[in-house]
Amino acid sequence: MGHETHVHIVPYRVFVRVWLLLLVLTGILVATSTLWHEALSVWAMLIVTPLKAGLVLFYFMHLNYEKPYLRALVFLTLGVLTLFIGILFFDILDR
């Protein structure tokens, strides 16, 4: 069989570090929602949540070790979804 044997062995410590970072980011989110003004928690959510999702995609789902074009395709998909939602605001903000 001529299939590719292109496997990345990621050390456990990488996963542990990413997991700890995710916990810290979650802690930040919880803190901003309870400690400060509620508007801040929305901004924290908008900034921190994509960061967390990115960490999961890149390390736990191995996107970091894929070819650039596959990475591009994932972000193209997310970009289109963001664009759809963004255009909706031309209506919703001014109605």
Site for other proteins in 58-77 (CB under 8 A): 77
Task: Check residue 4 for interaction with other proteins (CB under 8 A).
Answer: no
User: How many residues comprise the chain?
Assistant: 95
Given the complex with other proteins, which of 12 and 84 has the nearer CB atom?
84
C-alpha distance across the termini of the chain, in Å:
61
- Distance, in Å, from the CA atom of 79 to the CA atom of 87, rounded to the nearest integer, reads 12
Q: Output the six-digit token pair for 35.
A: 């400690």
Question: Smallest gap, in angstroms, from Cβ of residue 70 to other proteins?
Answer: 9
Q: Does 94 bind other proteins (CB under 8 A)?
A: yes
The minimum distance between CB 57 and other proteins, in angstroms, equals 17
